[in-house]
Structure 1
């Protein structure tokens, strides 16, 4: 918009000079056609220079925007890749946690059943022996889990003692 106003201003000056040349007077001097053409050429050259300057600035801004957009796209790709890597890392941990929870559940069930059988027998020393047996078996496995064994085998072990 400013460029158009500037051009209109130059053009109006040119017309004004042309009109004064046709009347034969401009500040007390005659203006011939050569001067008129020279003024028009200068105005046009100035206008073209201004247009070229604006076009250069426009291209510079466009290049900067494209560069920043390229960087943003690259960062987006990198973030997506990191996100995928994190998901891959957390997935095995979930499986391990699930396995540990299952082992804990098995151990809890085993302890409950042993506790109930101890209460039925009513003997404090037998109860203590069973607890010690469970703890011993947990230590033997090394990971804190209770080994899978039949209750029949437990009863036989207790009977031999």
Structure 2
């Protein structure tokens, strides 16, 4: 039986030696000599196996370290990309925050203006009604004052006329 094949050649040789790489039948005296050889080959096979296990463990740790190193770099790059994305957003509209703030203030002022506008229209109607009443009363007063002046003027004329008549009468008595 031939053993071999790739990187596992040493392990396969051990298996081949154990499995009967010695020959055909099995005699009595050869077994004693081969058992010592089997024990030493078992020990060397065990030490080879341990070495291989340690090498595998070392490589496993190296790969793990590389993976964690790459993960760290990926995290750093992710942070950098997020920062770049944020900077791009700011570059696309540097005044966006200020515009949003001003829009909110405009909306707030609009909400305050609506009731003020309604109140203003209401007061304006009241003012017009009050002004119209004031003008009517002012016109009435002016008319009455004119009529009073006419009456006072007529009254003065009548009294002056009466006084003149009385004065003529008194003069005619002398």
Q: Which has the larger radius of gyration?
A: 2
- What is the TM-score normalised by the length of structure 2? 0.42
| Structure with the higher helix share, 1 or 2 | 2
- What is the TM-score normalised by the length of structure 1? 0.44
